[in-house]
Amino acid sequence: MRNLYLMLIGLLLSFSAYSQKKISAAKLDRKLKKDIQLVDVRTEKEYQEKHIADAVNVDVEKPNFEDAAQTLDKNQPVYVYCRTGKRSSKAAQKLKSLGFTKVYDLKGGITSWNNRQEKK
């Protein structure tokens, strides 16, 4: 019974290590007024079509994602986004495993960002 209890605690701790914080488009808009690390994790083609100003493109599906991520400052917050949130969630998990502690994932991706911009 004690081993089962310890195993459950371990699972909970490992889950929390890979959780990331979601951020709304409105909050991200306010953060952009500061100098932040904003990463578009979509393909280069998607990035070229439209991206948030000052975002750097690091495709999460490319084999060099982890190497490219090492150019970011681990001590500063990192904000990631994709089209709808699936790839950015994957990127956030990878960044956490690389030692980044402050990772924020744009809820709804650039789709929510664009929808917010249209409402202004």
Phi and psi for 34 in degrees, rounded to 5?
Answer: -105, 170
**What are the distances in angstroms from CA 50 to CA 41, 74, 110?**
13, 26, 9
Is position 13 annotated as part of the catalytic site?
A: no
Which of these is catalytic: 82, 95, 103, 106? 82
Q: Cα-flanking dihedrals φ and ψ of residue 60, to 5°? A: -65, -20
Query: Hey, which residues are catalytic here?
Result: 82
